[in-house]
Amino acid sequence: MLKKFIPDQYVQSVYDIETEELRKRGVKGIITDLDNTLVEWDRKDATEKLLTWFERLREEGFEVVIVSNNNEKRVHTFASPHGLTFIHSAKKPFSKAFKAACRLMNLKHSEVVVLGDQLLTDILGGNRAGFQTILVVPVAETDGILTKFNRAIERRVFKAMKRKGLIEWERE
């Protein structure tokens, strides 16, 4: 069961993802979480650095879809001004929204990577749906109420994975 929580890759932030490596693995699309993956959970808009990152992804030919458990207003307010495709109220870790995002990009599962900051939603959901996964360190040290609960469980999962030798890195 713990293997479903193990990401294919672990990086400090979205800016540390090597797009050339993704391309070598056949990746053409990115499904990304929003809150604490791209920006702090309470930040309404994208930073200039993040907008530059999105532009670079577009220039390099990557498709991007934001898949968030947050409500439509939150995700729309963030994504729409920048022309970003999104799915809100995703009910991650269930796979329906991940598969829908893949269809929106018109790509095969093997051509898509799921990017997120939570084991219990993003990584578990991406792995269960058959995608490559990348775990990032949360951009903020604070979380919403539900996420705080998830983080407590996540700490136990990390400890179990480390104890069983399933991961070599530590979550900072």
Name the residue among 15, 73, 86, 14 with its Cα closest to residue 44: 73
Q: Which region among 1-15, 56-70, 109-123 has the lowest average model confidence (pLDDT)?
A: 1-15
Position 1 scores a pLDDT of 66
Query: Average pLDDT, stretch 146-165?
Result: 76
75-103 confidence digits (pLDDT tens): 999 999 999 999 999 999 999 999 999 99
Q: Following CA atoms 89, 154, 122, 95 in sequence, which dihedral angle do they give, to the nearest 10 degrees?
A: -70
Per the CB < 8 A criterion, the answer to whether 40 and 140 are in contact is yes
Burial class (CB in 10 A: 0-12, 13-18, 19+), 80: exposed
> Which residue reads 């907008």 in tokens?
51
Distances, alpha carbon 134 to alpha carbons 22, 27, 80, 112, 119, in Å: 11, 12, 24, 11, 10
Query: Average pLDDT, stretch 122-142?
Result: 91
Q: Which domains does the chain have, with CATH numbers?
A: 2-163 (3.40.50.1000)
Per the CB < 8 A criterion, the answer to whether 67 and 74 are in contact is no
What's phi and psi for 132, nearest 5 deg?
-70, 150
pLDDT at residue 160 greater than cutoff 70:
yes
Query: Average pLDDT, stretch 109-124?
Result: 95
Residues contacting 96, CB < 8 A, separation 6+: 90
Position 21 scores a pLDDT of 96
